[in-house]
Structure 1
Amino acid sequence: MKLKHFFSLIITLFVLTMNGQTDDDDVLFTVANEPVYASEFIRVYKKNLDLVQDDSQKDVDEYLKLFKSYKLKLKEAVSLGYNEEEAYLKELEEYKKELAKNYISDPQVTDDLVAEAYERTLNEVNANHILVKVSAVASPEDTLVAYNKIVRLRERALKDGFETVREEVHNGKTVFGEKLGFFNGFKMVYKFESVAYNTEVGEISMPFRTQFGYHILNVIDKRKSEGQVDIAHIMTVKNEKDTLAEKPEVRIQDIYKKLLQGENFEALAKQFSDDKNSAPKGGKLGLLSRGQVSVKEFEDAAFSLDSVGDVSEPFQTKFGWHIIKLLEKKPVGDFESLKPELVKKVKRDSRSKLIDEALVIELKKKYDVSDIRPDLTYFESILNDGYFDNSWKLPNDFTGDKTLLLIGNSEVLFQDFGDYLFRTMRNSREKEPYNMLLAKKYDAFIGKHLIAYQEDNLEYENEEFASILAEYRDGLLLFELMENTIWNSANKDSLGIQNYYEAHKLDYINPETIDAVVATSSKQKTLKKVTKLLDKGLGLDEIKSLINSNEKVEVIFTSDVMDATHQALPKDLVFKEGISKIYKHNEAYVIVQIKEVFPSSQKTLEEAKGSVISDYQTDKEEKWLIELEAKYKVEINEPVFNKVKSELK
């Protein structure tokens, strides 16, 4: 789906139904005599009010300009026929089907599954399991062999101990014996999850089947979920560019000593952490849940901290060296706050099959479809054993135009079911009586047809769905227009890009930088000593050996090529070779030894190309909008707009 620029175009267009002082038929403005209603503007404005970042877009006058531009672009898109292009119509149809999933379900079954899922987020299960692999479409003979094998393994596990049997039988090919550790809801397939939660601690489950084969599991322990932790960290990594830089493990130990000396974690993170995203925020990473990060050592260290304010010892991961501070422990949220996300997970999970089954029952009632299958003897008469080896075909004289059943006002023909039998033939490898095969096929067929029928009619049955679909229809249309009119043409216009760059060179400058060493300490007198030692030409390691001790770290050095935005540099530092005065910075004191100053320089077009193209596109769009305003006359209904402004205040 094309989303690269989509949301930057329309901020958001989810329309809510709200009561206002304006009438529904009040025309706010016209575009080439086509009305745009005040009610639409008010709904969109109110919905977007808390989502926009730019305060100017919250101003009603400014928002009207944006909305007017949006409508002008849509007018142009329709005029150019983008709404009739095959690719556009195909993508819109795909989105419609995806969106419909949020509106087609049985609410009671969904609510029950969501409540169960919430209960399972509150608790974790520690289990080991043994799996005997067998294909989901295995023959009855192979399935029976696998089942008998798992039954025998359970009998042995009850006698000799689960762990003994698990370790003995694991071969990583046909039989798997695995330690799973603690898990909670949605971490395993639903059937496996349910058996684990319903088996008592210390017990071995009865054999059960998933799509992977037959399992038994042994529940070792159950516990309350740990919830989330709010953490900050300091990270050091190897600086490949600076051969004089300290090893990250040495640097992290020096930082840790300063923490033990009582120095502020947030300040040290701002000064020394190599995680450029979190360092300006004092190392804050936000909330972390179990299973959220792929680095187990980091996760274990975070959840091992007991009290707010606790700090971990330095530890290593594949990313570097870390120290973690616990800012808050947050238990699992209440049901209402988690419900929206749980609903999404339930509908994506294998348990959604239960929702589908309940939905089909409801749709049969809604569209007056009988639970009694129609007479399928004709289809029995045209089947043969070729169906089970993928060689069957509908006969040449197939009676396809006969009505099989009615769904609402839609006629389902024999041809529809015959085509379905042919399409799904490859799924039927196990030979069985034709009447049993047809019963299963019909049930699956009618379920799919009922859901498809509701999807096709949902736009007329559900106002909210219709609104969102209309918004996406316009947004996708606008994307097609912008991609073809502005983005693609601007990217390919090498001469235009060159000319724009030449006319705006001063906007693309490399900043002034320095090759520098920054000394940081919590004490001014320490930096006075460092200044004297730097004046004498001593190396950083020598100075550290004279100033620091095994018990106490008084100074930490940062060596790099830096511009004025570097976290280690005070904002009012003058870029001049030599040793600076002492500055107060990030709740500590610093001096800067500037070895060399690299003046600002003009970026070449190649260096600045990304920014130049982006700016050129913006300039091209602004000029294009002026052309659209001249092409399609816009007339604002000022009395209505004044009424709108009054209402929105």
Structure 2
Amino acid sequence: MNILRITFLSFFFSCLFVNAQTNTVLFTVDDVPVYTSEFKRVYSKNLDLVKDDSQKDIDNYLDLFVKYKLKIAEAKALGMDQKPNYLREFSSYKSQLAKNYLNDSKVTDQLIEEAYQRLQTEVDANHILVKIDENASPKDTLLAYQEIQKLRGRAINEGFEVVKKDVHNGQTLFAEALGFFTAFKMVYPFENAAYNTAVGQWSQPFRTQFGYHVVFVNNKRKNRGDVTVAHIMLAGDKAEQTTESSINEIYKRIKQGEDFSALAKQFSDDKSSSSNGGKLNTFSAGQLSSKIFEEQAFALSNVGDISKPFKSEFGYHIIKLIDKKGIQSFEELELELKNKIKRDSRSKVINDKRVENLLKAYNVNLTAVDLSPFVSILNDDYFSSSWTIPSTFKGDETLLTIGTKQILQIEFAEFLFKSQRRRQAKVPLNQLVDDNFKVFVETNLKAYQEENLESENQEYAQILSEYRDGLLLFDLMENQIWNAAKQDSLGLLAYYNNHKSNYYYDTRVDAIVASSAKKSVIKKVSKLLKQNWSTDNIKKQINVDNQINVSFIIDTLDATHQALPKGLNLKAGVSNVFKHNDAYSVVKVNSVLPKTQKTFEQAKGSVVSDFQEQKEKDWLLDLTNKYKVTINTEALQQVKEELK
């Protein structure tokens, strides 16, 4: 599933919760009913998420909801719910979702406790991996195991770095330093090996879905918890010397007592945080892509501490510690851990317990099953994948019963026929039958449970329904609007030519912006700017005794730039002194760049977006004419009274 689809469906799920029930019909789309319960649930769930107050109006929201239903009707009319790609992706999601509802709670509780205990500790590890397919042949599996044993021996005798340099190719052999991590950061078998191996030791070889690994534990330490920081960043794409000098100037102003938040608003190149005084979202170890930044953040001890300027992969930073917390209590984390475990293959124990429970729930009696007929029809051809079911084997008798479903002998025979493609190791035929029968029973138990899960579990049914329509809606919009608009080059150009007045560069200025925490300093700077002093000479005059009293931004700025206050009169010359972003500033405008028409290429991104919006409006009008929508006004009035 691509990123766009994930984003679209995530938004869709936050807004809709579709599960029609048999009650009052609110409206119909070509006689297909939509019920009041569904609308009320959707409206109530979405109410706090909607930022546009007009959509909180019930009539306006109903209009949006009707349009949504029109799109679903159109998707089905076009047969998009029968397309192989849609069915395949929906089936994949259904299978993934079902995993969250199929396991034993007691086993899950034990894993929650284990996970919480592991969260107390961070592990720093290196690993070596011999990559093999999950369904590799016994011969290839043995070779991979022998290879990882050999590499483990070399790592013990020669050292990890030597082995890494010699064998790592990033394809079949991996030797990597992983840094610190904690529970849920690695697949469960890997996590087990890391936590169960002592510091300074190599683990024994173990297998995951990726292949065979060995892990070396460099260190274990108490989990440092979560940290919240603010930062000022100067991007690394600027001249190195200039950037380093600028970050040091800002640092001196902080040490002189100027407000960190105000300086972040004025100078930080991280636009996602500068307007908020540089504050970042809370993070824990291993969450950031920059280890340098993470280590600097966790190195700060007390709230309010400020780092010295340092360089990361993204530029120069100064960090201020806002908050630092240890691991939350078990009670606070329990639900989060439970949800993580539902999505995480924590242990084979969960699967085994599930099978045990299903055998009881569906009254499956395995003791009465006679497997001797299957032993009698097998031979050594099975191990060369050339065995066939004898023509004399009818297999029309019931082998076992799962719930209300009877499974015939021929179904297991066909399972054996297909399973020979797995190239199973040669074992006695009775053992072969027993091993395959266990897999066969487990497969059918799970399939039966999943087939009936929608009727057995209401929550599962509701989530599945919303995904079914959400996926359908995405495919429809992608096909009818998004891709169609992008590919219509003539339509885009015509739209641009008809709406040129919408695409232009606003007035900009070639300017110098000076800022200081002291009004008296900015007044002096204003006078010097009026006298056409250079910024370098002004700094020499003002920033004396190792004090940074003024800083400058020299650039081409638009009227919305963070350094300029709203309503500033953009004209050549030196402005009045003004207070902005918790500091005093003055602007010298060297020249004003007037409003300029954008070319088609310069405006293309906006043109595509606007064209898509217009195309969707026209399309929705066509759908309104195509499908008959009938509103039950009495039901709508009742809904309004209830929602008030």
TM-score interval, normalised by the smaller of the two chains: 0.7 to 0.9
Taking a change above 3 Å as real, the CA distance of residues 570 and 334 of structure 1, as seen in their structure-2 partners, is same
Q: Which of 288, 308, 314 is equivalent to 1:313? A: 308
Q: Distance in 1 between matches of 2:500 and 2:178?
A: 59
| Farther-moved stretch of structure 1 (608-617 vs 207-216) | 207-216
Deviation of 1:250 (Å): 1.0
Deviation of 1:581 (Å): 2.1
Structural mapping, 1:276-425, within 5 Å: 276-372=271-367, 374-388=369-383, 390-395=384-389, 397=391, 399=393, 401-402=395-396, 403-425=398-420
Deviation of 1:399 (Å): 2.9
Asked if 2 retains the 8 angstrom alpha-carbon contact of 1:236 and 1:248, the reply is: yes
Deviation of 1:260 (Å): 0.3
SS in 2 for 1:277: helix
Counterpart in the other structure of 1:14: 17
Taking a change above 3 Å as real, the CA distance of residues 203 and 565 of structure 1, as seen in their structure-2 partners, is closer
Q: Which of 29, 33, 36 is equivalent to 1:35? A: 33
Question: Is 1:81 the counterpart of 2:84 in the alignment?
Answer: no
Asked if 1 retains the 8 angstrom alpha-carbon contact of 2:123 and 2:217, the reply is: no
Q: Which of 469, 482, 491 is equivalent to 1:487? A: 482
Deviation of 1:557 (Å): 1.3
Counterpart in the other structure of 1:97: 95
SS in 1 for 2:282: strand
Q: Distance in 2 between matches of 1:305 and 1:226?
A: 11
Counterpart in the other structure of 1:545: 540
What amino acid is aligned across from residue 521 of structure 1 in structure 2? S
Asked if 2 retains the 8 angstrom alpha-carbon contact of 1:517 and 1:559, the reply is: yes
Counterpart in the other structure of 1:624: 619
Counterpart in the other structure of 2:472: 477
Asked if 2 retains the 8 angstrom alpha-carbon contact of 1:196 and 1:219, the reply is: no
Counterpart in the other structure of 1:159: none
Asked if 1 retains the 8 angstrom alpha-carbon contact of 2:377 and 2:390, the reply is: no
Taking a change above 3 Å as real, the CA distance of residues 248 and 417 of structure 1, as seen in their structure-2 partners, is farther
Taking a change above 3 Å as real, the CA distance of residues 466 and 246 of structure 1, as seen in their structure-2 partners, is same
Deviation of 1:472 (Å): 2.5
Asked if 2 retains the 8 angstrom alpha-carbon contact of 1:150 and 1:207, the reply is: no
Asked if 1 retains the 8 angstrom alpha-carbon contact of 2:13 and 2:466, the reply is: no
Taking a change above 3 Å as real, the CA distance of residues 171 and 37 of structure 1, as seen in their structure-2 partners, is closer
Asked if 2 retains the 8 angstrom alpha-carbon contact of 1:130 and 1:166, the reply is: no
What amino acid is aligned across from residue 94 of structure 2 in structure 1? K
What amino acid is aligned across from residue 575 of structure 1 in structure 2? L
What amino acid is aligned across from residue 278 of structure 2 in structure 1? G
Question: Is 1:522 the counterpart of 2:517 in the alignment?
Answer: yes
Q: Distance in 2 between matches of 1:147 and 1:275?
A: 45
What amino acid is aligned across from residue 163 of structure 2 in structure 1? N
What amino acid is aligned across from residue 645 of structure 1 in structure 2? K
Per-residue displacement from partner, 1:49-107 (whole Å, max 9, x unpaired)?
Answer: 22223222222222111112222333333334333444333333233222222222222
Question: Is 1:453 the counterpart of 2:448 in the alignment?
Answer: yes
Q: Distance in 2 between matches of 1:141 and 1:644?
A: 67
| Farther-moved stretch of structure 1 (316-325 vs 209-218) | 209-218
Per-residue displacement from partner, 1:512-548 (whole Å, max 9, x unpaired)?
Answer: 1112221111223323333344344443333322321
RMSD: 3.6
Deviation of 1:6 (Å): 4.7
Counterpart in the other structure of 1:598: 593
What amino acid is aligned across from residue 94 of structure 1 in structure 2? S
Per the normalisation by structure 1, the TM-score is 0.86
Counterpart in the other structure of 1:171: 163
Deviation of 1:206 (Å): 8.2
Asked if 2 retains the 8 angstrom alpha-carbon contact of 1:383 and 1:392, the reply is: no
Per-residue displacement from partner, 1:487-536 (whole Å, max 9, x unpaired)?
Answer: 34433444443443333322222111112221111223323333344344
Deviation of 1:147 (Å): 10
How many corresponding residue pairs?
A: 629
Counterpart in the other structure of 2:251: 256
Asked if 2 retains the 8 angstrom alpha-carbon contact of 1:579 and 1:594, the reply is: yes
Asked if 1 retains the 8 angstrom alpha-carbon contact of 2:578 and 2:586, the reply is: yes
Asked if 1 retains the 8 angstrom alpha-carbon contact of 2:526 and 2:577, the reply is: no
Counterpart in the other structure of 1:503: 498
Q: Distance in 2 between matches of 1:57 and 1:484?
A: 26
Runs (5+) with no aligned partner, structure 2: none
Asked if 1 retains the 8 angstrom alpha-carbon contact of 2:505 and 2:596, the reply is: yes
Counterpart in the other structure of 1:107: 105
Asked if 1 retains the 8 angstrom alpha-carbon contact of 2:98 and 2:460, the reply is: yes
Asked if 1 retains the 8 angstrom alpha-carbon contact of 2:385 and 2:423, the reply is: no
Asked if 1 retains the 8 angstrom alpha-carbon contact of 2:17 and 2:466, the reply is: yes
Deviation of 1:628 (Å): 3.1
| Farther-moved stretch of structure 1 (48-57 vs 330-339) | 330-339
Counterpart in the other structure of 1:554: 549
| Farther-moved stretch of structure 1 (463-472 vs 559-568) | 463-472
Deviation of 1:231 (Å): 0.6
What amino acid is aligned across from residue 285 of structure 1 in structure 2? L
| Farther-moved stretch of structure 1 (249-258 vs 572-581) | 572-581
What amino acid is aligned across from residue 122 of structure 2 in structure 1? E
What amino acid is aligned across from residue 580 of structure 2 in structure 1? H
Asked if 2 retains the 8 angstrom alpha-carbon contact of 1:132 and 1:146, the reply is: yes
Taking a change above 3 Å as real, the CA distance of residues 14 and 116 of structure 1, as seen in their structure-2 partners, is farther
What amino acid is aligned across from residue 643 of structure 1 in structure 2? Q
What amino acid is aligned across from residue 408 of structure 1 in structure 2? G
Asked if 1 retains the 8 angstrom alpha-carbon contact of 2:18 and 2:465, the reply is: no
Q: Distance in 2 between matches of 1:429 and 1:288?
A: 46
Asked if 2 retains the 8 angstrom alpha-carbon contact of 1:132 and 1:150, the reply is: no
Structural mapping, 1:265-276, within 5 Å: 265-276=260-271
Asked if 2 retains the 8 angstrom alpha-carbon contact of 1:346 and 1:352, the reply is: no
| Farther-moved stretch of structure 1 (170-179 vs 483-492) | 170-179
Q: Distance in 1 between matches of 2:347 and 2:573?
A: 68
Deviation of 1:203 (Å): 9.1
Deviation of 1:179 (Å): 7.4
Q: Distance in 2 between matches of 1:516 and 1:148?
A: 66
Q: Distance in 1 between matches of 2:128 and 2:60?
A: 64
Deviation of 1:31 (Å): 2.8
| Farther-moved stretch of structure 1 (572-581 vs 346-355) | 346-355
Taking a change above 3 Å as real, the CA distance of residues 202 and 567 of structure 1, as seen in their structure-2 partners, is closer
| Farther-moved stretch of structure 1 (295-304 vs 399-408) | 399-408
Taking a change above 3 Å as real, the CA distance of residues 277 and 543 of structure 1, as seen in their structure-2 partners, is same
Deviation of 1:233 (Å): 0.4
Q: Distance in 2 between matches of 1:425 and 1:588?
A: 76
Percent of pairs with identical residues: 48
Counterpart in the other structure of 1:228: 226
Q: Distance in 1 between matches of 2:8 and 2:364?
A: 44
SS in 1 for 2:393: coil
| Farther-moved stretch of structure 1 (518-527 vs 489-498) | 489-498
Deviation of 1:483 (Å): 3.3
Asked if 1 retains the 8 angstrom alpha-carbon contact of 2:145 and 2:212, the reply is: no
Deviation of 1:340 (Å): 4.2
